């Protein structure tokens, strides 16, 4: 084809193709497909490559590190204390060694943020919250828990029933290592069936109370019961440990 | 003081008018801010302690929302004639432009004002603005979307940001290695020699309308 034929000022009409419009529509369609199926693609990649390589893939196993205060509270292992008080028979302050001496619960479960990102296959290890509550003995009038954080800003809540779910743990290991400061170490909460904001980081205190006191994120508009399935009650009181 | 441009070698042809240059640099600034703030947000594990995440987030959010403005304002105003004409150039390709792109520059081409690679860069940036704005908005106002969509939007936002980094770095590399083109996005003008070499088709077109006054 002679190049002169393509000259815009030539008298001969030149056939032109709207490449720009097609490309933009094509990329837009790809984006829409990605929104619809990205979750499945991501889960597939996460399962195919595991949490190691998955971390460097776009949208793969990647935690977004959030803090309310803008800083990460650093707590040394030997300084760590978990104060359990309120409507209990035997109030107790646990050290990290105390927690590690208790029966160990571990499982592999995803971390799902309410804003959309998700990290599949996270290894969790710690103490069942129900074991901890059995140690201190919840009084009959205690119906809910209030959690506090070393960041002095975040708070959370669970009902006593929710706290007894077999996948709610006080975790001191995560991703095959001690919980790092970014992830809320040395000790954090992990509530498997709820969105990530319920899994309070840098856990410093648990109080047994007689009413549910909405935590920081709930006061900012998030559901008090942050069930992953969007329901308002414990629809799955005896979940299987997948 | 009078400046006379008579000699052939010093004749400068207008490639980008003031509106286009402003739009380019406003757009480039927003892209720069968004890319710069994206790094600590994406690699949170490494930057969590150094940066005030909330502040970085707010800068990223507001720059993102402002992202389409330079292009919209420069296109739609009465001042946007040149801009609109160039968008048509980006959009409509001849067959020889398509084959030039397919062969990565090996097939013959009397180049338009922009070569197909430059056109593709502009088209990609346009598409990226739309996709990033849409997915970014879904991440910000996530409550209105089901959870799998939020995850999908995160995935698309991440994948497109990888592509944007590649394209923008490539764009800057091409600019730095082509001083004549680079100069024109600052001064607006190119030499006749540049036009004949790099945009012969456009140069001929300009010669036909030479006597009409060029908007500045």
Nearest chain B residue (CA) to A118:
B151
CB contact under 8 A, A67 and B147: no
Contact B155 A58 (CB under 8 A): yes
**What's the pLDDT tens digit per position in A182-212?**
899 899 999 999 999 999 999 999 999 999 9
Which chain B residues are Cβ-neighbours of A66 within 8 angstroms?
Answer: 44, 53
Closest by CA position to B14, among listed B203, B198, B208, B204:
B203
> Where is average pLDDT lowest: A9-18, A39-48, A55-64, B186-195?
A55-64
Task: List the single residue in A with minimal CA-CA distance to B113.
Answer: A8
What sign does the CA torsion over B171, B173, B177, B183 have?
positive
For residue A230, give the DSSP letter. -
- Which of A201, A224, A131 has the alpha carbon at shortest distance from A169? A131
What is the nearest CA distance from A231 to chain B, expressed in angstroms?
13
Among chain B residues, the shortest Cα distance to A25 is held by B127
Taking CA–CA distances from A55, the nearest residue in chain B reads: B43
Are A70 and B53 in contact (CB < 8 Å)? Answer: yes
Amino acid A157: pLDDT: 95
Confidence of residue A4 (pLDDT cuts 50, 70, 90): very low
Q: Per the CB < 8 Å rule, is A36 touching B48?
A: no
Domain residue extents for chain A: 18-62, 77-219
Report whether B101 contacts B123 (CB < 8 A): no
How many A-B residue pairs are in contact by the CB < 8 A criterion? Answer: 167
Nearest chain B residue to A67 by CA: give it: B53
Sign of CA dihedral A176, A178, A183, A189: positive
* Closest CA relative to residue B71, chosen from B86, B89, B91: B86
Whole-number pLDDT of residue A196: 93
The pLDDT value recorded for residue A184 is: 94
The span from the CA of A186 to the CA of B74, in Å, is 53
Angle between helices B18-42 and B147-176 (to 10 degrees): 130
> pLDDT of B76-124, one tens digit each?
989 999 999 999 999 999 888 898 899 888 888 888 889 999 999 999 9
Average pLDDT, integer, range A225-236: 66
Q: Residue B56: in which H helix or E strand, if any?
A: helix B53-66
Contact B116, B98 (CB under 8 A): yes
Of B156, B163, B168, the closest CA to residue A116 belongs to B156
Report CB contact under 8 Å: A14, B91.
Answer: no
Q: Are B99 and B76 in contact (CB under 8 A)?
A: no
Gap from A1 CA to chain B (nearest CA, Å):
8
Query: Are residues B154 and A117, on separate chains, in Cβ contact within 8 Å?
Result: yes
Residue A78 has pLDDT above 60, yes or no: yes
Backbone angles phi, psi at B100, to 5 degrees: -60, -45
Provide the ipTM. 0.83
Interchain proximity A59–B95, CB inside 8 Å = no
Q: Mean pLDDT across chain A, nearest whole number?
A: 84
Burial A97-121 (b: 16+ CB within 10 A, else e): ebbbeeeebeeebbbbbbbbbbbbb
Q: Give residue A66's region: left, alpha or beta (phi > 0; psi -120 to 50).
A: beta
Which has the closest alpha carbon to A217: A129, A113, A144, A73? A113
The stretch A98-114 carries a mean pLDDT of 94
Split at pLDDT 50, 70, 90, the class of A115 is confident
Residues of chain A contacting residue B158, judged by C-beta atoms under 8 Å apart? 58-59
Asked if A228 and B150 count as a contact pair (C-beta separation under 8 A), the reply is no
**In terms of CA atoms, which chain B residue is nearest residue A10?**
B205
Does A115 contact B150 at a Cβ distance shorter than 8 Å? yes
Domain assignment present for B6:
no
The CATH class of the A77-219 domain is alpha beta
pLDDT of B134 strictly over 90: yes
Answer yes or no: are the C-beta atoms of A18 and B91 closer than 8 Å.
yes
Q: What are phi and psi of B131, to 5 degrees?
A: -70, -45
Strands annotated E in chain A: 16-18, 81-86, 92-95, 105-112, 118-128, 144-149, 155-159, 168-174, 177-178, 188-191, 203-209
Calpha distance A160→A90 (Å, rounded) = 17
Of the candidates B92, B110, B139, which has its C-beta nearest A116's C-beta?
A: B139
Q: Do B201 and A35 touch (CB under 8 A)?
A: no
Nearest one of B90, B95, B96 to A22, comparing CA atoms: B90
Total domains in chain B come to: 1
Residues of B in contact with A35 (CB under 8 A): 135, 138, 149, 152-153, 155-156
pLDDT tens-digit map of B8-39: 445 688 999 999 999 999 999 999 999 999 98
Q: Chain B residue with minimal CA distance to A73?
A: B49
Q: Looking at residue A13, what is its pLDDT? A: 66
Closest CA to B125 of B165, B80, B184, B177: B165
Compute the nearest-CA separation of B147 from chain A (Å): 6
Q: What is the DSSP string of A30-58?
A: HHHHHHHHHHHHHHHHHHHHHHHHHTTST
Residue B216: inside a domain? no
pLDDT in tens, B45-82: 565 555 677 788 899 999 999 999 999 999 998 999 99
How many Å apart are CA B12 and CA B15, to the nearest integer? 9
Contacting residues of B for A118, CB less than 8 Å apart:
151
CA nearest neighbour of B98 among B73, B127, B66, B120: B120
Kindly report the CATH number assigned to the domain that includes residue B89: 1.20.950.20
Which residue range is the domain that position B122 belongs to? 13-202
CB–CB of A71 and B108 under 8 A? no
Phi, psi of B38 (to 5 degrees): -65, -35
Quote the CA–CA distance of B94 and A177 in Å, as a whole number.
58
Q: Is residue B98 part of a domain?
A: yes
Query: CA–CA separation, A47 vs A45, rounded Å?
Result: 5
For position B118, what pLDDT does the model report?
93
* Each residue's pLDDT tens digit, B151-192: 889 889 988 999 999 999 999 999 999 999 999 999 999 998
Strands A144-149 and A155-159, sheet pairing:
antiparallel
Q: For residue A87, give how far its alpha carbon lies from the nearest alpha carbon of chain B (Å).
A: 35
The answer, yes or no, to whether residue A236 has pLDDT greater than 80, is no
B124 Cβ partners below 8 Å, 6+ apart? A23, A27, B163, B167
Q: Which of A3, A115, A117 has the CB atom closest to B108's CB atom?
A: A3
**Does A116 sit within 8 Å of B151, measured CB to CB?**
yes
- pLDDT value, residue A200: 96
pLDDT in tens, A158-182: 999 999 999 999 999 999 999 999 8
Cβ contact, residue pair A8, B112, below 8 Å: yes
């Amino acid at each position: 084809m002679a190049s002169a034929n393509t000259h815009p000022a030539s008298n001969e009409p030149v056939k032109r193709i709207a490449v720009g419009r097609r490309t933009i529509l094509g990329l837009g369609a790809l984006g829409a497909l990605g929104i619809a199926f990205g979750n499945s693609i991501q889960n597939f990649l996460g399962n195919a490559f595991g949490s190691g390589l998955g971390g460097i893939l776009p949208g793969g196993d990647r935690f977004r590190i959030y803090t309310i205060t803008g800083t990460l509270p650093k707590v040394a292992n030997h300084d760590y204390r978990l104060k359990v008080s309120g409507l209990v028979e035997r109030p107790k302050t646990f050290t990290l060694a105390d927690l590690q001496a208790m029966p160990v619960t571990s499982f592999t479960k995803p971390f799902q943020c309410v804003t959309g990102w998700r990290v599949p296959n996270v290894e969790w290890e710690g103490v069942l919250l129900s074991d901890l509550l059995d140690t201190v003995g919840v009084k009959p009038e205690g119906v809910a828990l209030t959690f506090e954080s070393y960041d002095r800003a975040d708070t959370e809540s669970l009902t006593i029933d929710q706290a007894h779910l077999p996948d709610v743990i006080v975790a001191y290991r995560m991703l095959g290592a001690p919980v790092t400061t970014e992830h809320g170490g040395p000790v954090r909460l992990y509530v498997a069936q709820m969105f990530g904001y319920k899994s309070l980081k840098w856990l410093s205190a648990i109080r047994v109370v007689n009413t549910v006191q909405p935590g920081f994120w709930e006061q900012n508009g998030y559901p008090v019961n942050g069930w992953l399935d969007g329901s308002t009650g414990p629809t799955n009181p005896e979940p299987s440990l997948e | 003081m009078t400046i006379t441009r008579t000699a052939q070698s010093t004749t400068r042809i207008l490639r980008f008018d003031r509106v286009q240059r402003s739009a380019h640099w406003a757009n480039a600034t927003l892209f720069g801010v968004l890319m710069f703030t994206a790094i600590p947000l994406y690699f949170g594990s490494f930057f969590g302690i150094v940066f005030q995440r909330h502040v970085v987030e707010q800068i990223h959010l507001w720059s993102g929302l402002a992202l389409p403005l330079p292009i919209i304002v420069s296109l739609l105003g009465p001042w946007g004639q040149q801009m609109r004409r160039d968008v048509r150039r980006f959009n409509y390709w001849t067959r020889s432009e398509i084959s030039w792109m397919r062969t990565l520059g090996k097939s013959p081409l009397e180049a338009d004002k922009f070569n197909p690679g430059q056109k593709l860069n502009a088209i990609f940036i346009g598409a990226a603005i739309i996709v990033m704005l849409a997915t970014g908005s879904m991440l910000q106002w996530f409550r209105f979307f089901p959870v799998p969509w939020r995850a999908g939007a995160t995935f698309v936002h991440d994948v497109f940001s990888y592509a944007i980094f590649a394209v923008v770095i490539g764009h800057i590399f091409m600019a730095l290695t082509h001083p004549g083109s680079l100069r024109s996005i600052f001064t607006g003008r190119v030499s006749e020699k540049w036009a004949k070499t790099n945009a012969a088709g456009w140069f001929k077109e300009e010669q036909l309308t030479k006597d009409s006054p060029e908007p500045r």
